[in-house]
Chain A
């Protein structure tokens, strides 16, 4: 018995490390040895391993755990960090975390289906958005008529992660295994689409943990963020470049209590500054600016920081003659509605909590899937925060992959088969790529104060603002 087992595992090891086409096919006897977790070697075969326990990885784990089609399948979530406490859901701290994300109504519904929304104790709602240019009078406003519907919700990242952790702890204990403080040190995935020898099934993915057992899985879902270790190991090629910008984030106190349901974004020559509503007296700041300016902003005193923010929103910038000319022309061309007159954001009085900054860049994976591997979230797309779409795109990935996996499993397919993974890739490329590219384009368009470009973008913005169908298209895309 023992020798047969070791023979087989040796055979499997060879297949994983070197793809040698087996010459003859050994006559197998009816007595088969099965790979189980008591193989005595610490090998455990899972159906799905999700690498990365952030918002997107956590959501994937919950979604798979809750799916009736995945009952009885072995699911494992690997997270490198420590288990996050869910106390903040029940007794939220006074201060707000400075890392927030915008959740679209579609994704809100998705999280509700995972029962991961109800427990979130607090979030801001955006019912109107005003986006305007510093170098011109170009402006666009988004809102449902009469501010009836929410455009998106502003939620602290920590709250979402805590809520997903809570679902995993309380509802999915038997269904989803979670391993914290598990750093992945190695990962072997089947590389080619068509293996030389199709007479054997594609071998499982092998994952080596730093201080842990070797794990095998039929499908590896990589949700390990922008610098995905697994994407690198699997040689997933990406288009990527850095922006010469960093985003400065902080939570701000407003001068007075208002009905805070408007998101403000002004495009400065150095980059956009955005104010996202949290409560009646608090908003979150996301200021994308040059690296040097970001350093300055972090090091200045609170009062200086506050006045820098207020100036950024209120200060008039000089616009050149060309721009003024185009503006007048555009104003005459597009009849502007009275209620669309430009408004000014609320005044900031102080900063609450710490300021932080992180560098910005663009990346997009050319392929999202390989045999037995699917990548989701920031690992495949990294976008500029100007459109607030980063988290949204990630949740859409989760929802699509879940649907594709459920259909495949219910059709008896091998869960790691490329057939259905390619469906996920096609669908999400269609969703992610145009959005990523548009955001990049917008960033480039607004990163200059070269007059003709300013004039052009002013024209474009005013046009979008005036043509309802175009505006509706944008809103529909962003609110998915």
Chain B
């Protein structure tokens, strides 16, 4: 059960429709109310401080209980089977010549993409040693932190989520005690949990090479945008559902060249840009930029491509509170 000690209970409660007991709350950790979403049942509970820990995102602090959430229903964001498969790969995740090498080399494209588009949105300071300082990022499906670590080094406050405990352990071990990665936290929560918390909102949510592994991509996008601040950025990189993506992305990559381990990808779960546009529209988001990426397995190198037939990455922003969604805003800006 997810609990909250209410040092900031006034702050937490404001904006929701639940009753509070401020007097008691001020004195001790107090149970407040129950709250449920479509997928999860949560009860705010009473927890002594030693069973809780702090999550700090940017300047904001929240305490959560060290208790695993009980999920009553199937999650839209986590597939048990996929989690199991990735847990097997945990030990070699950081081997840059191992089975995750394509993800390591993809950083050369996706880190600048994320950095520059966040700078364009007005966050951070360009051309400094910490261009993303002051930006809070949630990386869903962070794995062992291949993308989280660079973003944290760039000054962002990063929270990484992954469903696999083994992989997260590797992530924490690799992060170690590096002072450069002070503001990098890993939580073995599901995205549903962060949504349910209700008050933890981020400047940026990233789901790189994740959406093709979830059970329900539309719900997933909805949840991602739920935890975004208004005007916040969503970055998603994934694989298109085309004939060539089957040929190259699955057949050649998995069965012939062993670029990724067999069974990593399921073609039926790939998402097309059109579907993505639909999901974003339903989630009240503007598509800002979408570009294709091409992988050269011989050189282990990624390059930008105007062709989104296999891999592509996009940047969308959540609408601002007072903004109306018109037709023209819905047009995807294709690069």
Q: Which residues of A are in contact with B by a Cβ distance under 8 Å?
A: 8, 22, 25, 27-28, 30, 32-36, 45, 68-73, 194, 198-201, 218, 409-414, 419
Contacts and interface: CB of A to CB of B under 8 A. Distances in A.
A218 B128 CA distance: 19
Number of chain B interface residues as a range: 35 or more
Contacts of B170: 25, 199
B53 interface: yes
- Closest CB pairs A-B (n = 10): A412-B150, A198-B94, A412-B153, A412-B154, A198-B95, A30-B53, A71-B129, A25-B173, A199-B173, A199-B170
A200 B108 contact: no
9 contacts: A8-B177, A33-B177, A68-B128, A71-B128, A198-B91, A201-B174, A218-B180, A410-B154, A413-B153
B96 interface: yes
A218 B181 CA distance: 13
Q: Which of B92, B97, B180, B182 has the most CB of A within 10 A?
A: B180
A33 B176 CA distance: 9
A25 B91 CA distance: 10
A20 to B, nearest CB: 14
A411 B177 contact: no
A414 B184 CA distance: 14
A34 B129 contact: no
Contacts of A410: 115, 127, 131, 154
Given A35-B177, A72-B130, 6 more contacts: A8-B177, A71-B129, A72-B129, A199-B93, A218-B180, A411-B107
B272 to A, nearest CB: 29
Given A30-B53, A69-B128, A201 B176 contact: yes
Contact of B177 (A30, A34, A73, A198): A34
Interface string B74-116: 0000000000000000011111111000000001100110010
Interface of B: 53-54, 91-98, 107-108, 111-112, 115, 127-131, 144, 149-154, 169-170, 172-180, 182, 185
A69 B130 CA distance: 8
B186 to A, nearest CB: 10
A-side interface mostly: loop
B129 A201 contact: no
Contacts of A25: 169-170, 173
Contacts of B131: 410
A209 B130 CA distance: 31
A35 B174 contact: no
Given A194-B97, A411-B108, A68 B129 contact: yes
B129 A409 contact: yes
A194 B144 CA distance: 17
Contacts of A70: 129
B92 A198 contact: yes
Contacts of A71: 128-129
A409 B180 CA distance: 12
Contact of A69 (B92, B129, B144, B172): B129
Nearest to B179: A34
B129 A73 contact: yes
Of B96, B129, B131, B144, most A-chain CB atoms within 10 Å: B129
Contacts of B173: 22, 25, 28, 199-200
Contact of A199 (B96, B97, B174, B185): B174
Contacts of B115: 410-412
B179 A412 contact: no
A414 B108 CA distance: 13
A68 B174 contact: no
Nearest to A69: B129
B151 A412 contact: yes
Nearest to B185: A30
A332 B216 CA distance: 84
B7 to A, nearest CB: 17
Nearest to A29: B53
Contacts of A35: 177-179
Nearest to B144: A199
Contacts of B150: 411-413
A200 B153 contact: no
Given A198-B94, A412-B111, A27 B169 contact: yes
Given A36-B179, A68-B129, A199 B94 contact: yes
Contacts of A45: 179
Given A34-B179, A36-B179, A411 B128 contact: no
Contacts of B169: 25, 27
Contact of A200 (B129, B130, B176): B176
Given A25-B173, A199-B94, A199-B174, A411 B129 contact: no
Contacts of B97: 194
A72 B129 CA distance: 7
A69 B153 CA distance: 12
Contacts of B108: 411
A262 to B, nearest CB: 44
B91 A199 contact: yes
Contact of A32 (B98, B149, B177): B177
B153 A414 contact: yes
Nearest to A203: B176
B95 A194 contact: yes
Contacts of A27: 169
Contacts of B149: 412, 414
B128 A200 contact: no
A311 to B, nearest CB: 58
Contacts of B178: 35, 201
A411 B111 contact: yes
